[in-house]
């Protein structure tokens, strides 16, 4: 078992009771502290902190920062502004381009998800015409069936049918 040591001015090096540092970290016990001159220094935790969420800037905030940046006249003022606000120079560049393209429209956050389709103003008329077209097709099909039946009846009865040339149909 690994023994932990602590430095003390009076005693020199003294072993600590307990298990490994990993066990303490897993249970939430703070890391081993070294005592020196009455101050306790903690060993930094080697664990990687979780990733910070992306910051979202409102159009109003972007415009305020751009105004402040435009008012900067002396060298170093913009850098100080960026450090104070925790921004990058690329943010300013991007926001300036957005401002040139259309002030608040381009600066406002984009709506996520599917884009709503534009409604065609002719759609109701097209639907009406398609419905009428289907109705006329059904009516034509019925008329063709009736004509076929008439031809069969005339053949059975032996009635002569006029040809297409005699009827004037081409």
Q: What is the pLDDT of residue 166?
A: 65
Q: At what angle do helices 77-85 and 89-107 cross, to 10 degrees?
A: 70
Which of 69, 92, 107 is the endpoint of a domain? Answer: 107
Report if residue 154 sits inside a domain. no
Q: At what angle do helices 89-107 and 59-71 cross, to 10 degrees?
A: 130
Report if residue 10 sits inside a domain. yes
**Same domain, residue pair 103 and 64:** yes
Report if residue 67 sits inside a domain. yes
SS (H, E, C) 98-164: HHHHHHHHHHCCCCCCCCCCCCCCCHHHHHHHHHHHHHHHHHHHHHHHHHHHHHHHHHHHCCCCCCH
Mean pLDDT, residues 80-108:
82
Q: What is the pLDDT of residue 158?
A: 84
Domain membership of residue 103 as a residue range: 59-107
Count of domains for the chain = 2
**Same domain, residue pair 100 and 72:** yes
Report if residue 68 sits inside a domain. yes
Q: What is the pLDDT of residue 59?
A: 83
Q: What is the pLDDT of residue 142?
A: 96
Which of 88, 107, 126 is the endpoint of a domain? Answer: 107
> Does residue 111 register a pLDDT over 60?
yes
- Provide the token pair at 141: 């099909």
Alpha-carbon distance values, 54 to 70, 83, 107, 121 (Å): 26, 18, 17, 41
pLDDT digits (tens, 9 = 90+) for 117-158: 888 889 999 999 999 999 999 999 999 999 999 999 988 888
Report if residue 38 sits inside a domain. yes
Q: What is the pLDDT of residue 4?
A: 47
Q: What is the pLDDT of residue 6?
A: 47
Q: What is the pLDDT of residue 134?
A: 97
pLDDT digits (tens, 9 = 90+) for 19-72: 455 555 555 555 544 444 555 667 777 777 778 788 888 888 888 999 999 998
Report if residue 98 sits inside a domain. yes
Phi/psi of residue 31, nearest 5 degrees:
-65, 165
> Does residue 7 register a pLDDT over 80?
no
Report if residue 75 sits inside a domain. yes
**Same domain, residue pair 33 and 64:** no
Mean pLDDT, residues 62-87:
90
Report if residue 153 sits inside a domain. no
More confident residue, 84 or 3: 84
**Same domain, residue pair 103 and 63:** yes
């Amino acid at each position: 078992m690994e023994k932990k040591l602590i430095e003390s001015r009076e005693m020199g090096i003294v072993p600590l009771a307990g298990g490994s540092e990993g066990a303490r970290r897993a249970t939430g016990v703070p890391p081993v502290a070294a005592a020196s001159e009455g101050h306790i220094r903690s060993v930094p935790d080697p664990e990687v902190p979780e990733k910070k969420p992306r910051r979202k800037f409102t159009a109003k905030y972007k415009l305020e920062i751009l105004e402040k940046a435009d008012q900067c006249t002396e060298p170093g003022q913009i850098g100080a502004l960026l450090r104070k606000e925790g921004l990058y120079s690329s943010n300013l560049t991007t926001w300036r381009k957005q401002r040139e393209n259309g002030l608040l429209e381009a600066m406002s956050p984009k709506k996520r998800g599917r884009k709503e389709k534009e409604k065609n103003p002719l759609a109701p008329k097209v639907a009406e015409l398609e419905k009428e077209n289907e109705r006329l097709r059904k009516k034509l099909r019925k008329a063709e069936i009736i004509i076929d039946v008439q031809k069969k009846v005339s053949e059975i009865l032996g009635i002569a049918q006029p040809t297409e040339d005699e009827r004037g149909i081409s």
